[in-house]
Amino acid sequence: MTLLAVNGLHKSFGGVVAARDVTFTVARGEMLAIIGPNGAGKSTVFNMVGGQLRPDRGQVLLDGQDITHASPQKRFRRGVGRTFQVAQTFLSMSAAENVQMALISCNRQSSGLWTAARERHRDKAVELLSRVGMAEAADTPCSALAYGDVKRVELAIALAGQPKLLLMDEPTAGMAPRERAALMDLTASIAESQGIGVLFTEHDMDVVFGHAARVLVLLRGQIIAAGTPDEVRQDEQVKRAYLGDERALEPPRGVSPA
């Protein structure tokens, strides 16, 4: 069942066409990866789905509703959660308070002037943290957490809004190889159990081919291939796009590079 439908998205910056007639769908519980060489337009497409960029043409539909021109705030309320390439959390707050803040916003209490924030939704926040394995760090300031842990907290924040769609921009960038697999396994299990569609961009091909159900390949703003990891890996055009790094798309053999 279609959760996200992107129809004919187009965006140009001056003379550079960053996205040309980009069309794809994401189903509930499905993990879809967008890959492509640097400058292929991944982030542009991503930010148009996330609400940070306005497309010149085209449509973004979530559950059949048009969200093409909705602000990031509105998208959040419609059920879009997101994580950022460089993890964005509230560094002056504890891990639990970060999640509590998302819950407060979700319950439209962010203008509350009386009951202290740290007393609201505390149990629910700790439960969300435990789902990403961060319950013990609930009272640790985010500024004192290791980067991999911050990424997990960020995932918990994104989940606090009970999203239907999770947008993850290079979810494993800056993480150690072992942490990468763990984070993506976690994401996959949560997405599957709750029927959340996940759209992510990624540079690490192990992560892409290990976790995505389908892969989109962008080149110069256009989708040149789409399909299961195996289909994409065999595609001649894709191989050419990654020319010079022919083995980039091959499945890892023997010991994992780390």
Partner 1 sequence: MDPAFLAVQALSGLSSASSLFITACGLTIVFGVTRIVNFAHGSLYMIGAYTAATLVPRLLELSFGPVTFWAGILASAVIVGLIGVIIEVLLLRRIYGAPELFQLLATFGVVLVVQDLVVQVFGPQDILGPRAPGLRAPVEILGRRFPSYELVLIAAGPIVLGLVWLLLRKTRFGVLVRAATQDRDMVASLGVNQALLFTGTLFLGAFLAGLGGALQIPRVSANTGMDLSIIAEAFVVTVVGGMGSVPGAFLAALIIGQLQAFGILIFPKSTLVVVFLLMAVVLAIRPHGFFGRAEIVGGTHAVGISSRAPLPGRQLILLVVIAVLAAFPLLADAYLLKVATEILIFALFAFSLQLLIGVGGVVSFGHAAFFGLGAYGAALAVKWYGVSMEAALPLGLALAALGACLVGAFVVRLSGIYLAMMTLAAAQILYAVAFQWVDVTGGDNGIVGVWPSSWASGPAPYYLLTAALTVVTVLLLKRIIDAPFGYALRAARDSESRAEAIGLKVRQHRWMAFMIAGAAAGLAGGLYAFSRGSVDPSLLGISTSVDALTMLLLGGIQTVMGPLVGAAALHALRDWIMPLTSLWRLLLGLSIIAMVLIFPRGLVGTVRDWWEARA
Nearer to partner 1, 26 or 142 (CB): 142
Q: Hey, is 220 helix, strand or coil? A: coil
Among 5, 17, 70, 106, binds partner 1 (CB under 8 A): 106
Give the range of 28-36, 96-104, 210-218, 237-245 binding partner 1 by CB under 8 A.
96-104
Contact 172, 33 (CB under 8 A): no
Q: How far is the CB of 251 from partner 1 (least distance, A)?
A: 34
Element (H, E) at 240: helix 236-241
Q: How far is the CB of 19 from partner 1 (least distance, A)?
A: 20
- Residue window 29-68: x/- pattern of binding to partner 1, with contact defined by CB under 8 A: ---------------------x-x----------------
Per-residue tokens: 17: 């066409």
Contact 43, 35 (CB under 8 A): no
Check binding of 14 to partner 1 (CB under 8 A): no
Rounded Cα–Cα distance for residues 68 and 71 (Å): 9
Number of other CB atoms surrounding residue 218 within 10 Å: 26
Nearer to partner 1, 10 or 118 (CB): 118
For 47-152, list the strands marked E by DSSP.
Answer: 57-62, 65-66, 80-83
Contact 228, 214 (CB under 8 A): yes
Among 43, 44, 94, 187, binds partner 1 (CB under 8 A): 94
For the chain, the first-to-last Cα distance in angstroms comes to 38
Check binding of 126 to partner 1 (CB under 8 A): no
Nearer to partner 1, 76 or 209 (CB): 76
Check binding of 91 to partner 1 (CB under 8 A): yes
Among 102, 159, 175, 249, binds partner 1 (CB under 8 A): 102
Among 19, 48, 101, 150, binds partner 1 (CB under 8 A): 101
Nearer to partner 1, 136 or 245 (CB): 136
Contact 81, 158 (CB under 8 A): yes
DSSP assignment of 133-192 equals: T-GGGTTSBGGGS-HHHHHHHHHHHHHHT--SEEEEESTTTTS-HHHHHHHHHHHHHHHH
Nearer to partner 1, 97 or 170 (CB): 97
Among 37, 141, 177, 210, binds partner 1 (CB under 8 A): 141
Rounded Cα–Cα distance for residues 44 and 201 (Å): 11
Q: Which residues are near partner 1 by CB under 8 A?
A: 50, 52, 71-73, 76-77, 81-82, 84, 88-94, 97, 101-102, 104-106, 109-118, 120, 141, 143, 154, 157-158, 160-161
